[in-house]
Amino acid sequence: MPIRKNLSANLRRLVSSHASVAAVCRGLPMNRSQFERYLQGKSVPNQATAKLICDYFRVGEDELYRAPPVPETAPPALMPIHQTLYENMVRGPAPAIAGGTYFTYFAVPDRPDLVMRSVTFVRREAELVTFRRVTRWAEGHRQGGARVMGWHYGVAISRLNWIYFAGINRRQTGEPSIMTVQWAPLSEPVLVGNAFVLTQTGPACVKVIMRQEVRRIRLRQAMQMCGVVSLDDPRLDQLVASLVREG
């Protein structure tokens, strides 16, 4: 099989575990039309671009260009364990949450005066609900873009009146995360619960609050709002600040 066809098949396999081609292009970062040429087998990246792609997917360069493995035929009565797990996770009932942009606030261990604000993009396709959560720790600089430590992709499922957000970090550490929330009995819609996340001192269970951003907001603006926020910051959602103070 020609090298371009190998590249196309391998890239499609790698991209299939991500939210979308657009999300991959933003994460690289790379022009969408340029990446599509690789996906369609019309072009081969130069050495520097190939290294960028390999670093993002965490694979060796030989894996990009070698012939794709021929899938083994499993016995009809048995399903691969990952398929069984996935089907059990995404089976109904679908979570009672609308698609859109949500700001997610995590308690900061040993700092009751602060919260970590991240942004969660929820996508709903019929009964399937997926999400992407981004945590921005540092502003960009002249040599590169913003330092993004958290870039979690996953699915949202509903069990026993709780909504579970189960995902994995596609950046650097690659750690899994799980967040479970439910609608609070308040006049304003707000989700509250707990999250198991990776902190600077290791894994920790922290309180979490989610609120949908009903205003029209651009992706870049939402990203710029992520980071550590003081409860005394007048720009912080006052309902969130009140809930954090009340525990």
- Residue that wins the pLDDT comparison between 128 and 137: 128
CB 193 within 8 A of CB 208: yes
CB 210 within 8 A of CB 189: no
What is the predicted pLDDT for the residue at 177? 87
Taking only the tens place, the pLDDT of each residue in 178-219 is 999 999 998 899 999 999 887 777 888 999 999 998 888 887
Q: What is the pTM of this model?
A: 0.62
Q: Please, which pLDDT band fits residue 135 given cuts at 50, 70 and 90?
A: confident
Taking only the tens place, the pLDDT of each residue in 75-111 is 555 567 777 777 777 777 888 899 999 999 999 888 8
Distance CA 97, CA 210 (A): 11
Distance CA 34, CA 167 (A): 28
What is the predicted pLDDT for the residue at 143? 41
Nearest to 227 by CA among 172, 147, 168, 141: 147
Taking only the tens place, the pLDDT of each residue in 229-245 is 999 999 899 999 999 98
Distance CA 49, CA 161 (A): 46
Taking only the tens place, the pLDDT of each residue in 103-132 is 999 998 888 999 999 999 999 988 889 999
Res 42 pLDDT > 70: yes
Average pLDDT score over the chain: 84
What is the predicted pLDDT for the residue at 140? 47
Distance CA 20, CA 164 (A): 21
Q: Please, which pLDDT band fits residue 172 given cuts at 50, 70 and 90?
A: low
